[in-house]
Structure 1
Amino acid sequence: MHISAPKGRRRVCAAAVAAVVTCATALAAPGLATAGGPPTPSASALKLDWSPCVKGSPFDCATAKVPLDYRAPGGRSIELAVVKRKATGPGRRIGTLFFNPGGPGGPGTVQMPQNYEFFPREVRERFDIVSWDPRGIGSSTAVNCFTSTAQAEEWTAAKTTGVPVGEKERAAWITAYQDLGRRCQQRDPELLRHVSTTDTARDLEQLRQAVGDPQLTYLGISYGTYLGATYANLFPDTVRAMVLDSNWDPRAWTNDASEAAARLTTMLRLGSDRGAAGVLDEFLKLCGAATTARCPFSAGSPQETREKFDALLRRLRTEPVGEWGYGPTVGDAVSGLYSVLPGWTDLAGRLQDLWQGRAPQPSPLPPAPAVPHPSPYLGEEQAVAVVCGDSPNPRDPGAYRAMEEASAARAGDAGRYWTWATVACATWPGVAQDTYRGPWNKRTAHPVLVVGTTNDPATPYSGSQAMARELADARLLTHEGYGHTALVNPSTCVQAHESRYLVDGTLPPAGTKCRQDKPPFSADEPQGAVSAGEGGTADILTIRP
C-alpha cells in the first residue's frame, strides 16, 4: 500500500524546541489525575521486563503479551515489541509519553530510536518515551503472507509501483492483490480479523497500565491521530495529554459509520488526492520561483516549471528512463512531498535527472537504530490488513478505473495515485471483528491538542479541522507550512506549544497559527513567526518548567 512514504526515505522526527507563551487552558497537575472510564475487557495484568536492547544501548526493550481477541482474553495471545528511552532528567520525571509514528504500519521500535534526538529537549527530560510495533506490524506478531523473502520480492515485482498505466498494468495490480489476499487468508486468517485500530487502542491501554501511569500522555502523527482519537473515545477518563499531528477525519475513515458499501476509497474520502494536488502545485510554483541552485528542476518561472513537469510525465508514459515510467514517477512525486528538507530539493533533483534522461539514484537510508530488530519485515500486507479490515472500500475491482478518472478530473496525477492506494481492499478477505465507528465526542478528562499543516500532501488541513470539531474538547493549532506532519517539517512555534502542553497542560490560545521555520527552497534563516490567535502576537521564549 502507498499510504506511507517509501521505506527508503520514510523518517519520522520531532525537532528541538524553543517556546511560546500565553495560556488558555491547563490540565491538572501532571501525573496526579486519577484513571477511570470503561476498562479494557478483562485481560491479565501486563508486565514489561525491560532490558537494554543491545549491550551498551540507551534504549530498553521489552515484549508484551496481549490477547489476540479482547472478548476472549483466555484464548490465543500475541506479542508486542516495545522500546523505551528513560527520561534524561529523572528527578523531574512526569511519566511516560507514548508515541505512534503513523502508517498504518509504522514500526515504533525502529522509528522512535531513529528519531529520538528530534524530540523536544523538555520532553526528553520529563518523560520516558515509549513506542511499540502495533499488532500485525514489524517485530510484533506480524501479518506476513510469504514463506520467504524471495517469495515476497517475486510478488512485488509482479506489478509496477506508484500508479498502474494501461489495461495490462491495471490487470496485473488487481491480480497481484487478489493473490496477496489468498496468501494472507491461508497463512493466518485469525490474525487478519484482529489487527484493527480498536484492538491497538486496547493494547495501548494495557501498555499504559503496565508502565504505571494513572493517565495517558500520547503523541500520534498521521494514522496515529486516528488511533489517538479511538483511544480517547474508548477511554476518555484516562487522557492526561494527547497531541494529534496531521489528522485523519474520523468520519471519513469509517465512512460516517455507514454499514453500506463505500462508493469511494478511504483515501479519496479523506481528500488525500486534492491535498496532494494542491501541494504539488505549490512545489512547482515555489520551484519555478527559485534558482536552479535551490531547485534543480526550475524552468525559470512557476508556469514554465509546471509545463516542464507535465511534459516530463507525458514523455515518461511512452519513453521510460529505465524503471522510471509515468507510474513510479507520480508515486515518487507525491511521496517526495512529505518532507520539505531535504525532501523537496531531493525530489527536484530526481525530476531533473529524468528530464535529462538519467535514472535517479536512490536516497541513502538513515542509520539503523541500536535495537534488536533494526530491519523487521514490513511487507505491504501489514498496512493493507489494518486499512482494509478497518475502513470500507469498494469491493468491485472494476470500479477503480472510473474512480481514477473522476479523481484525476479534480486532482490530476495525484488523484490517480491515491485512487489505487487501496485497491487491495477490493478483494481483501479479512474484516475487523472489533471496530469503533463513533461517536467521536466523548468528553475526555483533559483537552486534546490537534495540529494541522495547511499544505499537507497526505492528510489535508481539512482533516485536522474535522478532528478538532469531532472531539468533545480539542484545540486546533494551525501550522502554516508544507509537508506531512509538523514533526518532520518543524516549526519552532508549533514545537514550543506542544512542549508546554505536554509538560504542564497549557494549550495555545484559540486560533493560534504558526509558520514553518524553513520554507521550501529558501535560505537557511529561520522563518518561524507566531500568531497567537485571539491572544494577539505571542513572544518567543525558552520554557523552563
Structure 2
Amino acid sequence: MARALLVLAAVLAVVTLAGCTVGPSERPPVAVRGDALTSAPPPAPGAPPPASDPNALPAPDPARDLPGLSDCTADTLATLTADGRGPRAGRALQVACGQLSVPVDPAQPALGPTRVGLTRVTTPGARAGRPPLVVVGDVGTDGAAREAAALAGQVSDRVLSTYQVIGMDRRGTGANLLDCSPPDARASLVDLNPDRTDEGSLTALLDKSRAIVQDCYLLLSGALSSYRASVTADDLETVRRQLGVQRLNVVGVGDGADAVAAWATAHADSVGRVVLDGPSDPTRQDPDSTEDATRAAEAAFDQFALSCRSGPSCPLGPDPRATVTALVGRVAARPLPTPDGDRVTAGAVLLAVRSGLAEPRRWPQLSAALAAAGSGNPAGLLGLLLPEAGPQGRFDAALATRCNDDPTRLTPPEAADLAARWKGSYPLFGAQAAQQLVTCAPWPAPAPSPAAGPLPADAPPVLVLGTTHDPRAPLTGAQRLAELTGAGRLVRWEGSGTGAYPRTPCVSGAVDRALVDGVAPAQDVVCPP
C-alpha cells in the first residue's frame, strides 16, 4: 500500500497546486430541542452575569498580538474547500499563519526549543486585541491550526464577532509534523492481516514496531517522549502567556480535549471559558481504554450502516456490516492490486473505515469507496488512507502520542489472549485493536505525568460535550470527566462523529451561551441528533 499512497500523494499535490467535589451530579439532565434550553434566560449580549451566579464564566480578556504571523488566507481556505470543509455561505475569513517557539520538553530543558504552528482566524477588518479562543484538535486531524480555520468557518456570527480564533498545532502535526518511521515498518503495521493474531504474528509485529522506535529515537533522541498530552498542556500555557491574557478560553476536540483537561487541572487559575468536546475517560488505561474505543467504533459503524440504509440507495446494500465484513475477508485472502503494482490490504481497509467514521459528512464518500473496493477499484480507499498512512500523514504522530500517553506495555501472548476475546465482542475492529496494543510495547515507558483531575471549588464551570456515537471515545468518557472535574456541565449529543460543536443548533446554543454570554448550563443538557 505504501507505494500506492506515494503515487496518490503526488497526484493530489499537482491538483492542489493548478475541563470541589468529585462525584456524579444529582441534577437530572434536561432534554431539549433546537435552542430550547431550559436554563434561565441569558443576560443581554455583552453584559456579564451576576458575580454570585454559580453558572457564571470569567469575562474574556483582550489579547496581545501574536508576533510573526503572515497572511495565509487563500491557501488555507483553498485547502479546506477542496477537503469539503470550507466556510459556510457568506462567511468571509481572514487567516494568518506562523509558528511559536516552545521548549521541546519542559521536563528536559537541555533539549532546547522547537516550534508549533499557530493560526489566527478573524473576520476581515476585525479590531485588534479581540479575546482569543484557542482550538486544540485531535492528533488524528490535519493539525489543530487548520482545524481552527474549519471551525471558524462554521461557528455562529456571535462567536466570530467576539473572538479571534487561534489554532495551536499538536506536537507531531502541522508545522511540527512527525515523520520518522521507516516506510516498510509503517506499512507492516498498517497492512497486518486482522486474522494474524497468533503469538508468532504478534511477535513479528513487535519487531517491526521496534524498528520504528529505533529510527525515531535516532532522529529525535530524548525528544521522542515530548509527543504527549501533558506537553500539549504546557504548550497551551505558553500560548496563554504569549497572548497576555490572565484566563484562556479554549475548545479542545477529541484527544485535544484530553490535553486541555490536563492543562485545566495543572493551571486552574488560567481557566476561562473552556469547552471539552469528545474527551476520553482519564481514569482508564490500556487495555481498558482501547477496549472502550473499540466498543465505541463498533457502535459508530452501526450508525454509519443505518445512515446508509436510510438513504435512497445504499451502495453497500441492505446489510452494510455484512458487506464490509465480506470485503475485509476477501481482501485478507487477496489484497486489492493498485495501478502502480502495490496493493490495499485488509488492515488498510479497516484503518480507512475507522478513520472515516469520525466525520459523518464524509460517510457517503466512505460508503462509495467501500462499494468500489468491492468491485476491485481501490482508488476511493487510497484517498481516505493517504492522510492517515501516506507520506506526510498522521500515522507517526498518532502512534507516538498514544504510546507516550499510556504507560501500559503488553506482550504478544497478552495481546493474543485479548484478540481471541475481542474478535467475538467486536467482530469488525476487535482483532486489529488487539494487534495495535503490541505496537507500543517497544516504546520507552513514559514518566508519570499529570492527568485531568478535580478542579478547585472556585474554578469556573467547564462545558463537557459528549457524543453518543463517537468512534474514538464512548460517551462514558465525557460523563466521567464531567464528574471528575467537579465543575463539569455535560452536554450530551445523541449524534455521531468526533466533535459535537457546532454540528446542531442545540449544541451550538449551549456552547455559544458559554462562550459569548458567559453562562454555563444550570444542569446537564441532552441534545437530539
Q: What TM-score do the two structures reach when normalised by structure 2?
A: 0.76
For residues 280-320 of structure 1, what are the alpha-carbon distances to aligned partners after superposition, in whole Å with 9 as ceiling and x for unaligned? 2233344345442xx21122xxxx55444444443333244
| 1:285–1:90 Cα change, 3 Å | closer
Mapped partners of 2:135, 2:269: distance in 1:
19
Question: Percent of pairs identical after alignment?
Answer: 23
Aligned residue among 354, 377, 380 for 1:361: 380
Q: Is the 8 A contact 2:358 2:497 kept in 1?
A: yes
Report the equivalent of 2:450.
436
Pick the structure with more helix per residue: 2
Q: Does 1:272 align with 2:293?
A: yes
The DSSP-based 3-state class of the residue aligned with 2:427 is: helix
For residues 517-528 of structure 1, the aligned pairs below 5 Å read none
| 1:133-168 Cα distance to aligned partner (Å, 9 max, x none) | 23344313x54426xxxxx44443345437543368
User: Is 1:410–2:425 an aligned residue pair?
Assistant: yes
Give the corresponding residue for 2:230: 198
Question: Which position in structure 1 is the counterpart of 2:516?
Answer: 503
CA distance in 2: counterparts of 1:437 and 1:364, whole angstroms: 36
CA distance in 2, matches of 1:109, 1:32: 21
1:161 to 158, 183, 191: 191
Counterpart-to-counterpart distance in 1, 2:391 and 2:165: 21
Alpha-carbon separation, structure 2, partners of 1:55 and 1:308: 42
Determine if the alignment matches structure 1 residue 281 to structure 2 residue 302. Answer: yes
Give a deviation string over 1:403-442, Cα, whole Å, max 9, x none.
222222221122223333343211113x444611454444
After TM superposition, give the deviation of residue 50 of structure 1 in Å: 3.1
- Cross-structure match for 1:538: none
Q: What is the CA distance between 1:376 and its match in structure 2?
A: 9.7
Query: Deviation digits for residues 112-150 of structure 1, max 9, x if unmatched?
Result: 23553123322221111111223344313x54426xxxx
3-state SS in 2 of match to 1:27: coil
Q: Give 1:476's match in structure 2, choosing from 472, 481, 490.
A: 490
Q: Deviations over 1:451-491 (max 9, x none)?
A: 11111211111111111111111111111112222148x11
1:162 and 1:124 map into 2 onto residues whose CA distance is: 45
Tell whether 2:384 aligns with 1:384: no
Instruction: Tell me which residue corresponds to 2:56.
Output: 27
Residue number in structure 2 paired with 1:145: 180
With over 3 angstroms needed to count, the CA separation of the structure-2 counterparts of 1:443 and 1:98, relative to structure 1, is farther
Q: What is the aligned length?
A: 458
State the TM-score, normalizing by the size of structure 1.
Answer: 0.74
Contact 1:279 1:337 in 2 (8 A): yes
1:183 to 2:215 alignment = yes
**Inter-partner Cα distance in structure 1 for 2:413 and 2:317:** 39
1:399 corresponds to which residue? Answer: 414
Residue 20 of structure 1, CA deviation: 5.2
3-state secondary structure, aligned to 1:353: helix
Q: One-letter code of the match for 1:52?
A: S
Which sits farther off after the overlay, 23-32 or 206-215? 23-32
The structure 1 residue matched to 2:242, chosen from 210, 219, 226, is: 210
Give the Cα–Cα distance (whole angstroms) in 2 for the partners of residues 92 and 493 of structure 1.
Answer: 31
Following superposition, the deviation at residue 241 of structure 1 comes to: 0.8
1:12-411 aligned within 5 A = 19=35, 21-23=37-39, 26-28=55-57, 30-31=59-60, 48-54=66-72, 58-71=94-107, 76-86=112-122, 90=126, 95-103=131-139, 106-140=142-176, 143-145=178-180, 152-161=182-191, 164-166=194-196, 170=202, 172-252=204-284, 255=285, 264=287, 266-268=289-291, 271-292=292-313, 295-299=314-318, 304-322=319-337, 323-341=343-361, 343-362=362-381, 377-378=392-393, 380-411=395-426
Q: Which amino acid aligns with 2:168?
A: W
Per the alignment, residue 36 of structure 1 pairs with none
CA-atom RMSD in angstroms: 3.5
1:239–1:446: 8 Å Cα contact kept in structure 2? yes
Shift of 1:49: 1.5
Q: Aligned partners of 2:511, 2:492: CA distance in 1, in Å?
A: 12
1:281 counterpart letter in structure 2: D
Q: What SS class does the counterpart of residue 443 from structure 2 fall into?
A: coil
CA contact (8 A) 1:266 1:422 kept: no
Provide closer, same or farther for how the CA distance between residues 194 and 338 of structure 1 changes in structure 2, counting only shifts above 3 A. Answer: closer
Give ranges in structure 1 of 5+ residues lacking alignment: 1-6, 10-17, 34-45, 147-151, 256-261, 369-374, 517-545
The yes-or-no answer on 1:462 pairing with 2:476 is yes
How many Å separate the matches in 1 of 2:488 and 2:269? 15
Distance, in Å, in 2 between the alignment partners of 1:442 and 1:189 is: 37
Q: Which amino acid aligns with 1:316?
A: V
CA distance in 1 between partners of 2:58 and 2:294 (Å): 42
